[in-house]
Structure 1
Amino acid sequence: NKQVYLAKKNLMRILSEATCLSIIPPTHGTEIRCVKLFQISHRLYMITGSEDTQIKLFSFQ
């Protein structure tokens, strides 16, 4: 199951150690600049920054 959360901009400070991917498949209606992957408590998270500076946090369980 995929849960989508709206994260705050200051969360990017916590994700400073994450890996940024420059080549990713485009999503419909959204222009994504980079994807950051990180792991917390054995959970994999993916954060994306869109063109409108909104940050979506995806949690995969």
Structure 2
Amino acid sequence: MARLLIAITILFIQQLVFAVILCPLAALYLCGLVITGGISLWRLIRRDYGEVDGGANLQPALNVLY
């Protein structure tokens, strides 16, 4: 009976670790390319030219895919 209780406890801990840590990490890995591409496009659309007449930041912010 004690072995069964230990096995169920270990199984519960494994499922908890899988759900809390590995599932969000897998989602981040799968969506990482889309997220970085979206951030890059957003920065290219919203350029920061600075407030100086000399044009401090005239280069495009980031490349689309590094």
Check whether TM > 0.5. no
Determine which structure has greater relative contact order: mean sequence separation of CA pairs < 8 Å that are 6+ residues apart, divided by chain length. 1
The TM-score normalised by the length of structure 1 is: 0.17
TM-score of the superposition, structure 2-length normalised? 0.16
Q: Which has the higher helix share?
A: 2
- Structure that is richer in strand per residue: 1
